[in-house]
């Protein structure tokens, strides 16, 4: 055939637009190659599988971008079939799930609200010795299911449900979804109901749609509804309109086809605009991320205002401040855990000061500093004449003094078992008797406790009562040690040095870049308390305005330094890396003040600007 012999259908097949022609009854008379590609009537498959149906014991892997809104038609109750409690899944959320068909003992899922699904959601799971990795990428709009090393990847435009089924006996993939699953009748809901799925072969796979009604292979949407109305003879032509066909976003036009003045059908022209949708989606996600960042910044500023003495802005510390903020809005018992010197008492006070009872008493009791034989009388008080040496008028205990406010029991892990029993009764009932008294005293008091001990280990070793542990462990907050949040050292130094200088009675001092680097290389076993002591000694030793490295009396061991830099590289690169890290630290310490940074680093303006350019 030569070019002059090309007919209308040949021209239609080389068009850049999809074209579908139906007669007045909705029967497909022509479907060009581009339309087949857009809608998924024709698709390239990477893996083969036979036709079949799901069986009991088969492993089912599901990744749904928006439950109940996808073409697959899944609802939360459908997940019961693979052993997942539907209560754990909400409508319109992104869901990743792995389970065994008709086995309610092993299902596992992960969900994410679409409101917060701005980037991706991932799940790694091993089921029956098969490693499964699932990922939904909301930015680039694709789902990837990896079974061992085989990838089953699908791009999507709107809401999409991707599924892989593994044979429970052979452990081989017996089904996977691909582009155009609506047309191929591969909806997971139908498959879970026991309907057959078609075979796939490697390479080109195509459905024969010729002379079939368009709604046999296509889900009814506004696009097809307009097409059928136009084909019947009602003047419903469209030039350019946005719509959806089989889950694919399209720009479409519809024209009636007449012969001898009579309507005989209609033509649908399609342009795939999924790329434009992806760009729009990326823009929307960027806006969401910006809004989230602004909200986080606002929260960060609020937390800093609420906890002004809890210094630092590292991600770990911000999470602690966030928990502390939640604790301040609750009346529940709070357990603060952490090593000595991390600031447990400061956090306890901050929680009280941010609460609705901030104007009420805050009573700090260091249980470790009170002798065992006096602890009961100090906590609960005593009546006059209760024991030899008792005050003539009796005495209020700390619990009574804290009425309406907060009592903070520091180092609670050090009290005796006998005292733990009495304390448990007070925490449970908020009632107690003074020593030598017969009148029950009731108090309304918030209880915060702290310890540097591992209470779970103490419970196992029978040194701490299990029932007391559960009473105080209602709202646990663990303060991370300074070595795990070294980025906060700069803010701590800026906060502590002026206070130390004022306390010592000397003029304000600054710290050199070399000293900063030395402080960040140390592991700080004594945490912030040790940092404050080291700085106070340095202030006393320093006669000038700049605290130098020689004034910092700490021993930096090699194990503290090695993790900071990868030394398995040329010496020049290593030195450059250390220099860049030092400059970043100083710029953070000076809050971007270049003039101040030049003084600390002892370099000239030109040199600093050149080095900043190379960061």
Which domain CATH number covers 381?
3.40.50.300
Q: What is the pLDDT of residue 563?
A: 44
Crossing angle for the helix pair 571-589 and 513-521, nearest 10 degrees?
Answer: 100
| Distance from C-alpha of 384 to C-alpha of 243, rounded to nearest angstrom | 86
Q: What is the pLDDT of residue 154?
A: 86
Could you tell me if 237 and 374 lie in one domain? Answer: no
Q: What angle do CA 322, 328, 331 make, to 5 degrees?
A: 135
Residue that finishes a domain, picked among 478, 503, 537? 478
* Domain of residue 525, CATH code: 1.10.8.60
Could you tell me if 508 and 406 lie in one domain? Answer: no
Could you tell me if 35 and 138 lie in one domain? Answer: no
Q: What is the pLDDT of residue 2?
A: 36
Could you tell me if 493 and 469 lie in one domain? Answer: no
Could you tell me if 463 and 582 lie in one domain? Answer: no
Q: Is the dihedral of CA 523, 528, 530, 532 positive or negative?
A: positive
User: Which residue, 586, 487, 578, 581, is CA-closest to 546?
Assistant: 586
- Lookup result for tokens 């970043």: 584
Q: Is 568 inside any structural domain?
A: yes
Q: What is the pLDDT of residue 564?
A: 46
Could you tell me if 98 and 164 lie in one domain? Answer: yes
Segments forming the whole domain that contains residue 506: 483-613
Supply the DSSP string of 159-190, one letter for each residue: S-EEEEEE-TTT-SEEEE--TTTTTTT--HHH
The tokens of 538 are what? 């340095």
Residue that finishes a domain, picked among 450, 478, 506? 478
Q: What is the pLDDT of residue 6?
A: 43
Q: What is the pLDDT of residue 5?
A: 44
Residue that finishes a domain, picked among 206, 235, 251? 206
Start-to-end CA distance of the chain, whole Å, equals 65
Could you tell me if 130 and 175 lie in one domain? Answer: yes
The domain tally of the chain equals: 4
Contact 500, 535 (CB under 8 A): yes
User: Which residue, 534, 451, 430, 537, is CA-closest to 492?
Assistant: 534
Q: What is the pLDDT of residue 136?
A: 92
- Tell me the three state secondary structure of residue 199: coil
| Distance from C-alpha of 187 to C-alpha of 162, rounded to nearest angstrom | 9
- Lookup result for tokens 């700390």: 398
Low-confidence ranges of the chain (pLDDT < 50): 1-6, 558-565, 567
| Distance from C-alpha of 358 to C-alpha of 360, rounded to nearest angstrom | 5
Q: What is the pLDDT of residue 289?
A: 61
What secondary structure letter does DSSP report for 113? E
Could you tell me if 386 and 253 lie in one domain? Answer: no
């Amino acid at each position: 055939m030569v070019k002059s012999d090309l007919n209308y259908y040949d021209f239609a097949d080389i068009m850049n637009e999809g074209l579908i022609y139906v007669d007045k009854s909705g029967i497909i008379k022509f479907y060009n190659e581009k339309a087949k590609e857009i809608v998924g009537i024709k698709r390239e498959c990477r893996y083969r599988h036979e036709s079949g149906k799901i069986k009991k014991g088969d492993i089912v892997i599901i990744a749904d971008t928006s439950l109940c809104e996808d073409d697959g038609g899944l609802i939360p109750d459908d997940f019961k079939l693979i052993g997942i409690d539907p209560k754990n899944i909400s409508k319109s959320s992104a869901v990743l799930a792995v389970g065994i068909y008709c086995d309610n003992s092993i299902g596992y899922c992960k969900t994410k609200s679409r409101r917060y699904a701005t980037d991706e959601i991932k799940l790694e799971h091993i089921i029956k010795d098969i490693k499964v990795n699932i990922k939904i990428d909301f930015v680039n709009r694709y789902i990837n299911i990896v079974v061992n090393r085989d990838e089953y990847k699908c791009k999507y435009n709107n809401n999409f449900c991707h599924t892989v089924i593994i044979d429970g006996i052979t452990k081989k993939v017996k089904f996977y979804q691909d582009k155009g699953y609506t047309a191929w009748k591969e909806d997971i809901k139908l498959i879970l109901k026991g309907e057959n799925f078609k075979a796939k072969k490697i390479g080109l796979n195509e459905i024969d749609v010729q002379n079939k009604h368009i709604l046999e292979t296509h889900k009814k949407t506004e696009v097809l509804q307009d097409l059928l109305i136009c084909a019947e003879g009602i003047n419903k032509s469209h030039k350019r309109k946005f719509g959806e066909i089989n889950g694919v976003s399209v720009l479409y036009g519809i024209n009636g086809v007449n012969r001898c003045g009579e309507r005989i059908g209609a033509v649908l022209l399609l342009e795939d605009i999924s790329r434009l949708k992806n760009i729009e989606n990326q823009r929307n996600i960027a806006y969401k991320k910006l809004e989230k960042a602004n909200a986080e910044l606002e929260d960060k500023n609020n937390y800093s205002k609420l906890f002004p003495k809890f210094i630092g802005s590292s991600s770990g510390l911000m999470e602690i401040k966030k928990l502390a903020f939640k604790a301040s809005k609750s009346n529940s018992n709070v357990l603060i855990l952490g090593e000595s010197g991390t600031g447990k008492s400061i956090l306890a006070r901050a929680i009280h000061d941010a609460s609705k009872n901030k104007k009420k008493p805050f009573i700090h009791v260091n249980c470790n500093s009170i002798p065992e034989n006096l602890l009961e009388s100090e906590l609960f008080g005593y009546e006059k004449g209760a024991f030899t040496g008792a005050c003539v008028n009796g005495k209020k205990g700390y619990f009574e003094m804290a009425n309406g406010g907060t009592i903070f029991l520091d180092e609670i892990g050090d009290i005796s078992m006998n005292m733990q029993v009495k304390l448990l009764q007070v925490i449970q009932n908020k009632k107690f008797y003074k020593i030598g008294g017969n009148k029950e005293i009731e108090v309304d008091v918030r209880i915060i406790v702290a310890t540097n001990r591992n209470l779970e280990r103490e419970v196992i070793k029978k040194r701490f009562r299990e029932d007391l542990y559960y009473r105080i462990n209602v709202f646990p907050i663990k303060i991370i040690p300074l070595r795990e949040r070294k980025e906060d050292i700069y803010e701590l130094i800026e906060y502590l040095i002026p206070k130390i200088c004022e306390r010592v009675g000397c003029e304000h001092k600054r710290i050199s870049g070399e000293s900063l680097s030395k402080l960040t290389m140390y592991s700080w076993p004594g945490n912030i308390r040790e940092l404050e002591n080291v700085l106070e000694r340095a202030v006393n030793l320093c006669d000038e305005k700049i605290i130098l490295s020689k004034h910092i009396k700490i021993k930096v061991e090699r194990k503290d330094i090695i993790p900071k830099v990868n030394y398995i590289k040329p010496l020049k690169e290593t030195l450059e890396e250390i220099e860049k890290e030092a400059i970043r630290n100083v710029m953070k310490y000076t809050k971007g003040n270049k003039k101040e940074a030049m003084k600390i680093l002892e370099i000239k303006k030109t040199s600093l600007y050149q080095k900043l350019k190379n960061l």
